[in-house]
Structure 1
Amino acid sequence: MILKEQIVPEALYYKEENQRIYLKGEGHITAILCADLRELVFSRFEQGEAIESFYIDLSDCDYMDSTFMGLLVGFNKRMLKLMKKRITIVRPSETARGLMEGLGLTSLVDIVDEPVLFPKDMTNINQTKGASVDLLLHSHENLMELSEENKKKFAALHSVLKSQKDKEQ
């Protein structure tokens, strides 16, 4: 009997509507999708137009890597700085909530367990760029700022990434 390799889908869907940003994660959300997401969201922040809310639906997310969680911290920091508001995590799955709790994200963001109406015609963020050393480094530095425990968890990775970045310059 031949077993087919099981592929776990990973997808991020994005839409901005009425000064609200909507992001929905499905499956395994990893660094593979983070470069395009980072560019999209931070370019929106740079436009300077007000953002009323930033909703992230993680109800169908069954895994998030540290790069994606570090990016969430970065989004939250930017929202606080520019709009004096936090991002809102909508109905995180049990796994997503556990991963966020493990790194201390739940104290930074708003979490709602009731549904938020998301637009129907969201755009699937496709992978066009690889996760750069800069993206990985900044995402993990965001996580390291949250706690001493995180500093210890990511110290070795941070050292390697910092070394790689220094070589690139």
Structure 2
Amino acid sequence: MDKETGIKFGVLDGFTWIRCEGKGSFMQSPALKECTKQRQDEGEKYFVIDLQACTGMDSTFMGFLAGLSARVGRSDGWVHIASPGDRNRQSLEDLGLDCVLEISPPEAPWRGKADEIRQGLQPYVGKRLPGMSERARHVLEAHRTLANTNEDNAKKFAGVLQVLEKQASDDPETEG
């Protein structure tokens, strides 16, 4: 079943641009994961995540972004955050993710072209709705990534991880 995702994307010369519209949450991030995985499978290793129209982000969404950065970084790729706005920038910085994501880098190849790029984006339509077990695995993976990012996050998300890991151990399909 296809579904609208709140994500628009475009493949440009040298990178993939992904625009998140509405709240970046545990509901939207599986579609973002699907989109980026599809592009990575096609050889992409450079991503711009456009947060201009993103009204806020939860920890799962931010954990996914950090995980994406780690994955593409292993192949000398990068993740740039475009137009985060003050609130989203602060959320990323509060979790120390400005150390793993490049937020509005001044030397970015897309600088000065964002409005033009946004006009050519197409809606990303998800291939399927993820099941509960898949969503639970995604949330757990995102929070593990956050906890592994720095010591403050490890403390901050210890309780959440404990609950998520307990749920995963109770459901063999969610083990990851």
Query: TM-score, normalised on structure 1?
Result: 0.82
The equivalent of 2:130 in structure 1 is 129
Q: 1:89 is aligned with what amino acid?
A: I
- 1:18-57 correspondence runs (5 A): 18-47=13-42, 49-51=43-45, 53-57=46-50
Q: Is the 8 A contact 1:86 1:108 kept in 2?
A: no
Are the structure 2 counterparts of residues 58 and 121 from structure 1 closer, same or farther at C-alpha, using a change threshold of 3 Å? Answer: closer
The equivalent of 2:97 in structure 1 is 105
Residue 129 of structure 1 aligns to a residue whose secondary structure is: coil
The equivalent of 2:54 in structure 1 is 61
> 1: CA distance between counterparts of 2:91 and 2:36?
22
> 2: CA distance between counterparts of 1:159 and 1:115?
44
Instruction: After TM superposition, give the deviation of residue 76 of structure 1 in Å.
Output: 0.3
Deviates more, 1:126-135 or 1:16-25: 126-135
Pick the aligned partner of 1:149 from 148, 152, 162: 152
Q: 2:122 is aligned with what amino acid?
A: M
> 1: CA distance between counterparts of 2:112 and 2:136?
36
> 2: CA distance between counterparts of 1:155 and 1:115?
41
> 2: CA distance between counterparts of 1:66 and 1:121?
26
Residue 96 of structure 1 aligns to a residue whose secondary structure is: helix
Instruction: After TM superposition, give the deviation of residue 115 of structure 1 in Å.
Output: 4.4
Deviation track 1:42-65 (CA, whole Å, cap 9, x = no partner) reads 233234x243x3111112222100
Q: Is the 8 A contact 2:8 2:18 kept in 1?
A: yes
Aligned-residue sequence identity (percent) comes to: 26
Instruction: After TM superposition, give the deviation of residue 125 of structure 1 in Å.
Output: 4.4
* Number of residue pairs matched by the alignment: 157
Deviates more, 1:127-136 or 1:139-148: 127-136
Pick the aligned partner of 1:140 from 129, 139, 143: 143
Residue 55 of structure 2 aligns to a residue whose secondary structure is: strand
> 2: CA distance between counterparts of 1:29 and 1:45?
21
Instruction: After TM superposition, give the deviation of residue 27 of structure 1 in Å.
Output: 2.6
Q: Is the 8 A contact 1:90 1:115 kept in 2?
A: no
Matched, 1:73 2:74: no
Query: TM-score, normalised on structure 2?
Result: 0.79
Q: Which runs of 5+ in 1 are unaligned?
A: 1-9
Q: Which runs of 5+ in 2 are unaligned?
A: none
Instruction: After TM superposition, give the deviation of residue 19 of structure 1 in Å.
Output: 4.3
The equivalent of 2:8 in structure 1 is 13
